[in-house]
Amino acid sequence: MTETPMREPTFLVLTALAEEPRHGYAVIEDVAGMTGGRVRLRAGTLYAALDRLRAEGLIEVDREEIVQSRLRRYYRLTGAGEQSLAVETARLRAQAAIAERRLRARHTRLGGATA
């Protein structure tokens, strides 16, 4: 049996942190940017994910800053987080490849018609 598939917000948060350590609002912005605005994480969802990922050892606190009297806590990916993201990426890639192959076969079978 394989690992339980990651939920999309989790995958996107880990992807955002894979580039560099980011604080909460920067993660929201990055996720919105990389999904073309399709996914805009809300604070409740984001911190539920961050808390769980911290608890699971997939991310950790990088540093804290105070900007305009507000706390900014930067998070970074841990080794385990990098590994989890790599595993999930490979799983998604494999599934996408199967879907692509079947779509191509269907296209060929239908003589080029897609519908």
Partner 1 sequence: MTSLERRYRRLLRIYPAAHRAAYEEEMIGVLMSGAAPGRRLPGPADAFDLVRAGLTVRFGRAFHTTGGTGWRDVAAVTGLFAALLLAGAGINRLITGIELWGRGDPLRLHGVDGLMLLDPAMRSVIWSLAVAAAVLGLRRVTVVLALTGVLVQAVAVGLWSVPMNELAMVWGFGIAIAAAALFAAAVPGRWIRPVLGGRGVALAVAGAVLAVATRASALDGVWAGERFSGRFFDTGEFLQDWLPTLALAAAAWAAGPWLRGRILVVSAALWTAAMVLQDVPGLVFVATHGDLDSRDAVSRIVVLLLAPVVVLGGGLAVLAVRERLAGQGHGQVKRHE
Taking Cα atoms as reference points, which of 80, 74, 72, 31 lies closest to residue 55? 80
Radius of gyration of the chain (CA): 18
Kindly state whether residue 105 participates in binding partner 1, applying the rule CB under 8 A.
no
- Per CB under 8 A, the segment of 12-20, 81-89, 92-100, 106-114 that binds partner 1 is 81-89
Q: Cβ closer to partner 1: 73 or 102?
A: 73
Half-sphere exposure of 84 (CA within 13 A, CB side): 23
- Per CB under 8 A, the segment of 12-20, 54-62, 92-100, 103-111 that binds partner 1 is 54-62
Whole-angstrom Cα distance, residue 31 to residue 22? 11
Kindly state whether residue 52 participates in binding partner 1, applying the rule CB under 8 A.
yes
- Per CB under 8 A, the segment of 14-22, 46-54, 92-100, 103-111 that binds partner 1 is 46-54
Residue 7 Cα to chain centre, angstroms: 8
Half-sphere exposure of 83 (CA within 13 A, CB side): 7
Kindly state whether residue 25 participates in binding partner 1, applying the rule CB under 8 A.
yes
Residues in touch with partner 1 (CB under 8 A): 1-4, 23-25, 28, 42-48, 50-52, 55-57, 64, 66, 68-73, 78-80, 83-84, 87
